[in-house]
Copies of this chain bind each other. A is one copy, B any other.
Amino acid sequence: MALRGNACIGQSGGPTSVINATMVGAVEAARDIDGIERFYGALHGLQGVLDEDLVDLFREDPDHLAALRYCPSAAIGSVRLKPKEEHLQRALEVFRAQNIRFFFYNGGNDSQLTCHLISELAKSSDWEMCIIGVPKTIDNDLVVTDHSPGFGSAARYAAAAVQFAARDSEAFGNPHVVEVMGRHAGWLTAATGVGAVEAGDAPHLVYVPEVPVTREQFVEDVAEHFQRWGTCVVAASEGFTFAGETEFQVSDKVDSFGHARLGGVAQGLSDVIEEAGIAKRCRNDKLGNLQRCFAWAASETDLEEAYAVGREAAVRASRGETDVMITIERESDDPYRWECGVTSLVSVADQTKLVPREWLNERANGIGDEMRRYVLPLIQGRVFQMEPGLPRYPKLARHFVEKKLPPSAPSK
């Protein structure tokens, strides 16, 4: 028999241009679901659950919520928190105290692991819940799902930025290195490759972390293209290093998951190009955080899918599904057709999907046709909510839910 009670959603990990669309999709679907009584947003994901910092999303102005669908980044706050056993216990206590029977966690592979751990704990307790992970990552490194919401919009921004940078680069005839997000997975960088349609189009070279090339090959590649086209635009992942070298990892700092904070590839490769004497001056740009929030370049496909996975999560939870993550299943590339599916949380938790070697070209300095077919449908679409002036979005009123428990011990 299906459960009855309140629902709760959390946003986790790096924001994207479309995660609010997922939240809005879940809330709007839940309004029509009889078993869902209230729908809470946990401020800063799991941290908000632990602190009982919950806001009632059913009480938000429906027009504001509808407009938030196009607002980038996490409207109820995100978090990076690797939970300990005591956190999981506390989360379950809060769920019970707040009569929360449905929990949705919108994040990447770390967050799907968190989701699975809570689900396991709930199963072994007397508090029955439906717990559903919802995919979200600009890195596109979640396994099983064809791709993840957030990726298409980040890819569209990055690919457009490379095209615009190419115009700028041509003006002076300088080589130009563009650094794209991606520590381990080069999906976002590879996506910029679709901008090269005719011979000589930018990006001329694309380098991903999965397949390091030697410093010698890199210099040779750039010199060849620069000589041939009078310009050379390089797209490189933040996690790219030369085969056998590690020098682009310039920061010793790590995030709360122990991941290295990388940086400096654009400047580093640019220096290599200048030092090799290929050009007196090489320009470089690090696309940075705008990749996950420059919503004027959002992909229409991505926005639709992000909304759809949110709806799907609410509908499936209300039917009793649990311990699963919503997936996107691609049916065809052109015309592009897809539908939502599910996979077990354990199949995706803590896994990383890398760019397959065979989706790159032979020299691993550009993309192949399979990558092109994969990416193209995901970066289509016009700009949403384009204001004549600057972007403005409604703010959530944040109707706080009364806390039922004494504060927990410090949780970080």
User: How many copies of this chain does the complex contain?
Assistant: 2
Question: Contact: B391 with A296, CB < 8 Å?
Answer: no
Question: Contact: A288 with B289, CB < 8 Å?
Answer: no
Within 8 A of B (CB), among A58-112: 71-74, 77-80
Question: Contact: B390 with A159, CB < 8 Å?
Answer: yes
Give per-residue flags for A286-319: 1 if the beta carbon is below 8 A from chain B beta carbons, else 0: 1111101111110010000000000000000000
Nearest-neighbor residue (CB-CB) of A391 within chain B: B163
Give CA–CA (A44, B379) in the complex, Å. 34
The reply to whether the CB of A194 lies closer than 8 angstroms to some CB of chain B is yes
The reply to whether the CB of A205 lies closer than 8 angstroms to some CB of chain B is no
Give CA–CA (A284, B173) in the complex, Å. 29
Give CA–CA (A389, B163) in the complex, Å. 11
Give CA–CA (A358, B188) in the complex, Å. 45
Question: Contact: B290 with A285, CB < 8 Å?
Answer: yes
Point out the residues of chain B lying under 8 angstroms from A382, CB to CB.
386, 388
Report the minimum CB–CB distance from A299 to chain B (whole Å): 9
The reply to whether the CB of A321 lies closer than 8 angstroms to some CB of chain B is no
Q: State which of B74, B163, B172, B173 has its C-beta within 8 Å of the C-beta of A171.
A: B74
What 11 new A-B contacts, CB under 8 Å, besides A296-B296, A379-B389?
A: A73-B168, A73-B170, A77-B171, A78-B172, A160-B296, A160-B391, A163-B391, A168-B292, A296-B297, A296-B383, A380-B388
| Chain A residues with a Cβ under 8 A of chain B | 11, 15, 44, 71-74, 77-80, 156, 159-161, 163-165, 167-168, 170-173, 176, 194-195, 197, 283-290, 292-297, 300, 376, 379-383, 386, 388-393
